[in-house]
């Protein structure tokens, strides 16, 4: 970015580092079945590249999924099980100054058999 005034240009300024992206502000379940939950959230303002979704399965393993859109369908879930989904906004990647937002979470329960 630079300014021009009466044929005099300022020195250009470059951002050397990515800023931390903004977090999302809500998560909604658009469809819940025995073994799947479809989630959607608002895309935050500002620059971001993807979203990281975290949850624990029925064996207490941490599951990580990534998407470049503001929605995801998570399958392979256990019927009548309470899941807490955490969504993190990601800017950059492991090779290009990865930055992440604060977390936002919501709880949903799969249907009963």
Contact 34, 74 (CB under 8 A): no
Please give the Cα distance from 14 to 90 (Å, whole number). 21
In this prediction the pTM is: 0.82
Please give the Cα distance from 40 to 27 (Å, whole number). 6
What are the pLDDT tens digits along the chain (113 aa)? 556 666 676 666 655 566 789 999 999 999 999 999 999 999 999 989 999 999 999 999 999 999 999 999 999 999 999 999 999 999 987 777 889 999 999 999 999 98
Cα 101 to Cα 76, 93, 96: the distances in Å are 27, 13, 16
Contact 83, 51 (CB under 8 A): no
Domains of the chain: 16-109 (2.60.40.10)
């Amino acid at each position: 970015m630079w300014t021009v005034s009466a044929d005099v240009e300022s020195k250009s300024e470059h951002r050397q580092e990515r800023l931390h992206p903004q977090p999302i502000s809500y998560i909604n379940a658009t469809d819940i079945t025995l073994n799947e939950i479809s989630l959607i959230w608002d895309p935050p303002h500002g620059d971001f590249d993807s979203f990281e979704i975290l949850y624990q399965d029925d064996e207490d393993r941490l599951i990580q999924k990534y998407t470049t859109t503001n929605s995801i369908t998570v399958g392979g879930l256990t019927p009548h099980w309470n899941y807490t989904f955490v969504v993190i906004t990601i800017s950059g990647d492991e090779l290009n100054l990865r930055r992440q937002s604060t977390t936002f979470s919501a709880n949903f329960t799969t249907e009963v058999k």
